[in-house]
Amino acid sequence: MEKNTIPVITVDGPSGSGKGTICSLLAAELKWNLLDSGALYRLVAFGALKHQIDFTDTDKIADYARQLDIRFDVSEPNPETGATEVAVILEGEAVGDGIRTEECGNNASKVAAIPAVRAALLERQRQFLVPPGLIADGRDMGTVVFPEAKLKIYLTASAEERANRRFKQLKEKGIHATVGSLIREINERDERDMNRTVAPLEPAEDAHVVDTSSMPINEVIQRVLQLYRQVFK
């Protein structure tokens, strides 16, 4: 299959809008591949810290992003649910939840504002486009990485709702946080992601904007699958 005929659904939006959950459910439902582009930026930030590269040294961070040694090991599907798990391996070592912390997300947002880092990761992201199709989760999937995608979704939700969701997730993991501090962090991250000069977070002109503030996950999935059927069938 030619690269440009492989179907892609891009799902962009701010942190906490439900992209991660929606994208993994969609990938399992359609049996398509999944690109978690945020994980790539998180890995650059995580590895830069490990190697003590200063975040203000943009040349060194970009060099590091260019030679990033990573692998995604996908588990066999769970026989009952069909769900797979992905182990992220950086320089031969599993990173586990190390890249999922709020701190790593904030650091990822900082390195993601460096144009040379974004350029370094562009081709790597496009390599995820293999048959039978791709669900691409990020901030600039529909605008920059896969502008030719036939179906583009932009998920959003109010900062309060996103902070509440994050609060619940953290509580389940036994991590202490307050909704007030999470709202502040979310606003700071939105501000950085939306106002950077290269590939800022914004809906593509042809994106379907879905506000998930008062929508349960199930409803969001149904809405996206309905769009999928309209576009691809």
Torsion of CA 4, 76, 19, 31, to 10 degrees: 40
Nearer to ligand DC, 10 or 151 (CB): 10
Nearer to ligand DC, 81 or 197 (CB): 197
Closest-CB residue for ligand DC? 38
Torsion of CA 151, 157, 163, 167, to 10 degrees: -60
The least distance separating ligand DC from the CB of residue 125, rounded to whole angstroms, comes to: 8
Closest CA to 114 of 34, 174, 60: 60
CA 185-106-24 angle, to 5 degrees, is 100
Nearer to ligand DC, 105 or 133 (CB): 105
The least distance separating ligand DC from the CB of residue 187, rounded to whole angstroms, comes to: 12
3-state SS class at 155: strand
Nearer to ligand DC, 133 or 166 (CB): 166
The least distance separating ligand DC from the CB of residue 181, rounded to whole angstroms, comes to: 17
Nearer to ligand DC, 152 or 189 (CB): 189
Residue that has been written with the tokens 């995580």 in this structure: 46
74: left (phi over 0), alpha (psi -120 to 50) or beta: beta
The least distance separating ligand DC from the CB of residue 188, rounded to whole angstroms, comes to: 10
Closest CA to 86 of 103, 102, 100, 65: 100
The least distance separating ligand DC from the CB of residue 165, rounded to whole angstroms, comes to: 13
Which residues contribute to the site for ligand DC (CB under 6 A)? 15, 37-38, 41-42, 105, 108-109, 112, 138-140, 189, 193
